[in-house]
């Protein structure tokens, strides 16, 4: 209704020709946006999973503006107009919106859009620079420049001058994500104190930025270093609240063994370490597992040097698994954990839910049927293994959450005791949510 409509804060929002397609809901009052997302979550859970949560949780909310600490900004040099466009695409179009500002980006990044356009326009490589990826940490703003051709010395000098003026850190990406590297790596790897962690290095490089891209979870005394192309949450304010809420819902005790599925760099794992007896982080790639281990080790050393003694914390391990091909036997082999935290990508955690369902049905005496063209699944050697008593599932796609919830509730012996939305992306139609499942 008209009472819920508001004046959009952004001049580029709307239905006019050339309007930016980044936001979809700026014309609605923030509480109305959240109500729409809550309804979408409940509808999906019911229609796709036939699941009705016993309790609808209070929405997790944060700042409505300047929240987007990660973004992929497309770039195009328009030769006819001799100008550069940087930003999001127009609504349902391959054209770029002519963005001068952006109210969902942090204010200092929004203020940089026009200077960035001027920088790129003045570069030799302006026609072969398709994208800038933004990643803001608590103290560092990293910009990853995707370049299709090698950069000239003149272009590199322009990037350095821009970095010195605006206090940003340039990273370069010539091909795939594995090619991302700092424009000017630190001369010494150890951190240097001083003004913003900057110091003079070789004369031709001028100031070298030795700050590390990271974010903190202050409630747990944790610092998470990350690379600008790593997966981290877009909205750090919401992430801090989300970690606290998820762990409170998981209700971890000092005697618990916890598995964190799709653990990434350890966003939930490292806080769990401060609460449980034993924690296992499981992720899909060896590289991420190595990085999560390094993050855990670094935080342990940091706490140790601050306290002077080794802090009491859970035994911690990280392993790599193909999480989209988990079986009941693999779950049993990973051992009993009475608490699970699941934070999958958009595809959800179907294999995990299916494996729990297989074990539960086997215990009930229902042997699994073969799917068409597939051999029947082998019975699981369960012994005294037990499924987790409680599961907290953080989802970025309500339809895959609903599918997995349907399996957990109707096939695996769980109740959906609570669910609610996380307003991670205000003004967009993106629905992030959290759900709690209890055995029996």
Catalytic residue IDs: 396
Residue 388 in tokens: 């987790």
Number of CB atoms found within 10 A of residue 430's CB = 15
Contacts of 250 by beta carbon, 8 Å cutoff, 6+ apart: 258, 339, 341, 390, 392
CB 40 within 8 A of CB 398: yes
Residue 138 in tokens: 């608590």
Q: Tokens 């007896």 label which residue? A: 277
Contacts of 51 by beta carbon, 8 Å cutoff, 6+ apart: 45, 402, 405, 406, 409, 416
What does 296-318 look like in DSSP terms, one character per residue? HHHHHHHHHHHHSSPPP--EEEE
Q: How far apart are CA 341 and CA 280, in angstroms?
A: 10
Q: How far apart are CA 368 and CA 336, in angstroms?
A: 22
> Could you tell me which of 130, 138, 87, 82 has the C-alpha nearest to residue 110?
87
Q: How far apart are CA 140 and CA 196, in angstroms?
A: 9
Residue 247 in tokens: 């762990």
């Amino acid at each position: 209704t008209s009472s819920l409509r508001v004046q959009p804060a952004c001049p580029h929002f709307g239905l006019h020709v050339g309007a930016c397609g980044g936001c979809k809901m700026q014309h609605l009052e923030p509480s109305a946006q959240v109500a729409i997302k809550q309804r979408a979550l409940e509808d999906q859970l019911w229609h796709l999973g036939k699941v009705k949560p016993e309790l609808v949780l209070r929405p997790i909310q944060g700042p409505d503006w300047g929240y987007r600490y990660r973004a992929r900004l497309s770039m195009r040099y328009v030769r006819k107009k001799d100008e550069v466009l940087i930003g999001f695409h127009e609504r349902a179009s391959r054209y770029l919106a002519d963005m001068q500002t952006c109210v969902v980006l942090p204010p200092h990044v929004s203020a940089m859009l026009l200077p960035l356009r001027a920088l790129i326009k003045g570069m030799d490589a302006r026609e072969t620079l398709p994208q800038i990826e933004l990643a803001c940490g608590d103290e560092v703003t990293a910009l990853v420049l995707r370049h299709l051709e090698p950069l000239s010395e003149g272009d590199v000098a322009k990037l350095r001058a821009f970095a010195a003026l605006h206090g940003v850190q340039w990273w370069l990406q010539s091909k795939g994500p594995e090619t991302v590297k700092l424009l000017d790596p630190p001369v010494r790897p150890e951190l240097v104190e001083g003004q913003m962690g900057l110091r003079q290095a070789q004369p031709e490089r001028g100031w070298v930025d030795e700050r590390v891209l990271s974010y903190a979870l202050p409630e747990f005394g944790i610092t998470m270093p990350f690379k600008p192309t790593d997966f981290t949450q877009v909205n750090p304010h919401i992430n801090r609240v989300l970690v606290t809420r998820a762990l409170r819902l998981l209700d971890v005790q000092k005697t618990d063994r916890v598995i964190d599925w799709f653990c990434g760099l350890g966003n939930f794992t490292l806080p769990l370490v401060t609460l449980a007896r034993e924690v296992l982080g499981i992720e899909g790639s060896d590289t991420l597992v190595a990085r999560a281990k390094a993050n855990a080790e670094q935080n342990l050393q940091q706490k140790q040097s601050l306290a002077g003694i080794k802090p009491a914390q859970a035994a911690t391990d990280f392993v790599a698994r193909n999480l989209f091909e988990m079986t009941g036997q693999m779950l049993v082999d990973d051992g009993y954990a009475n608490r699970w935290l699941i934070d999958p990508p958009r595809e959800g955690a179907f294999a995990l839910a299916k494996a729990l369902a297989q074990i539960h049905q086997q215990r009930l005496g229902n042997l699994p049927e073969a799917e068409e063209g597939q051999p029947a699944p082998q019975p699981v050697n369960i012994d005294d293994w037990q499924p987790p008593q409680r599961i907290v599932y953080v989802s970025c796609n309500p339809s895959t959450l609903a599918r997995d919830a349907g399996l957990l509730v109707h096939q695996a012996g769980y109740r959906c005791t609570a669910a609610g939305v996380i307003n991670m992306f205000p003004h967009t139609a993106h629905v992030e949510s959290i759900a709690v499942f209890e055995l029996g």
